[in-house]
Amino acid sequence: VGGGTYRRPVRDTPYLAVDVDVLDRNLAAMADAARDRGLRLRPHAKTHKCVEIARRQVALSGAGLTVATVAEAERFAAAGFDDLFLAYPIVASGPRAGRLRALADRVALRVGVESAEAAALLGRAVQGLEVLVEVDSGHHRTGVTPERAGEIATAATAAGLAVVGVFTFPGHGYGPGDRGRAAADESATLAVAAAALEQAGVPAHVRSGGSTPTAALSDAAVLTELRPGVYAFFDAQQAELGSAGLADVALTAVATVVSRAPGRAVLDAGSKILSADRPAWTTGYGRLPDCPAARVVALSEHHATVVFPDGAEVPAVGEPVRVAPNHVCTAVNLADELVVVSDGVEVDRWAVAARGANT
C-alpha cells in the first residue's frame, strides 16, 4: 500500500479496505462473462451490503439484485433498488408477513419457497407474490429434490402465489476440485426441476443458479440467471479454490503487528474483523497478499498469529500488514464501513448499509 502523490491518511487498525480498481475489474469481468453467455447476472448483495457497490453492479448488468433476508431487501429498497430476489425459503410469520407486503408494494419482489407450509404462509402474506421453487443440487442445505419441484409449485399456486421458476445454490462447489462437478449438478438439477414444473403446468421462466466458484461453468442452455456474490471482492478461500488469484482480492483487513518473534508475528486483526470462517481445506484463517507463503495459523478475537516462511522478513512491531479474510461476506458484516482505496490512496468510505440485517 503506497504510491501516488498523496499520503494515505493515518487510521487506526484494524479496518477493512477495498481496492476500488480491483473491485471494478472483478465486477466488469463477471458482467462481461454473463453477458457473453446470454445469462442474466443478479449479483448477491449479501457479500458487500453496500449501496455504492450494488449501484455499480446494476449499472453493469441492467438487472436486479439478490438478497438473503427481508431486512437486506428493506435496506436496498430504501436505497432505491426496485428489483430484488430474496433467495431464501422465507417463512412469512409474525411481523415478517407485513414487512414482505410492504416490500412487495414498493419493488419487484421474488422470494424462495421449498415447502407447502411456507407457501401457505407466503400466500396469506402477499397474494400474487412471485416465487421460485428452491431445489437441492447437492449442497444438502435447503431445497427439495428436483423431482419434487412440481409438487411445491402446485402448492404455491394453490396458495395464490405466482411461480416463475426454480433456483438452487451449488454450495458443494466450495471445496478444492469440486467446482466442475457442482456446476454440472446445478445444471442437471435445474433442468429436471424445470421439467417437473412444466409437467405441473407451470412454465419455469427463471432457472437461477450460480455461485462464484461455479459461475463460469454453469450450462447456459439450462440456466437463465446467475447469482454470484463473492466475486466482487474474492477472498482467501476463493484464491485457494482457484476461482481467483490473490491479486484479484479487492478487500483486505489492514492490521498492525503487535508482537513479533523469529519467523512469527501477531497482528491486531482477529475474528471480530476477519470472522472465524475456516473450512477444513483452507491453509489457515486468511492469507497475506503481500506475503503469499505466510500462514495465519491461529485466530482469536483480536489476534492473528502469522508464521512466515524461512528467509522471509518478519514485519516489525507497529508495521501494517494486509490480511485477506477467508470468507469476505462474514468479514464485511462485522464492519460499519469500508475504507475505499485507489492506487494506495484513501479516496472514500462506504457504509455497510445492510450490516447486521439478519431478520
| Residues at the site binding its own copies, with contacts judged by CB under 8 A | 10-15, 46, 68-70, 88-91, 93-96, 99, 114-115, 117-118, 121, 140-143, 171, 256-260, 266, 268, 271-273, 275-278, 298, 300-303, 305, 316-318, 327, 329-330, 333-336, 356, 358-359
CB of 147 to its own copies, least distance (A): 15
CB of 35 to its own copies, least distance (A): 28
Nearer to its own copies, 61 or 271 (CB): 271
Nearer to its own copies, 60 or 169 (CB): 169
- Residue ranges with strand state E in 203-336: 206-209, 225-226, 251-261, 264-267, 295-300, 303-307, 320-323
| Residues forming beta bridges with residue 135, ordered by sequence position | 144
CB of 356 to its own copies, least distance (A): 6
CB of 305 to its own copies, least distance (A): 6
Nearer to its own copies, 60 or 111 (CB): 111
CB of 73 to its own copies, least distance (A): 13
Nearer to its own copies, 35 or 99 (CB): 99
N-term to C-term CA, the chain: 37
Q: Which amino acid, 270?
A: G
Q: How far apart are CA 285 and CA 306, in angstroms?
A: 9
Nearer to its own copies, 248 or 268 (CB): 268
| Residues forming beta bridges with residue 132, ordered by sequence position | 112, 165
State phi, psi for 354 to the nearest 5 degrees: -110, 25
DSSP of 81-131, one letter per residue? Answer: --EEEEEEE----THHHHHHHHHHHHSEEEEEE-SHHHHHHHHHHSTT-EE
SS3 58: helix
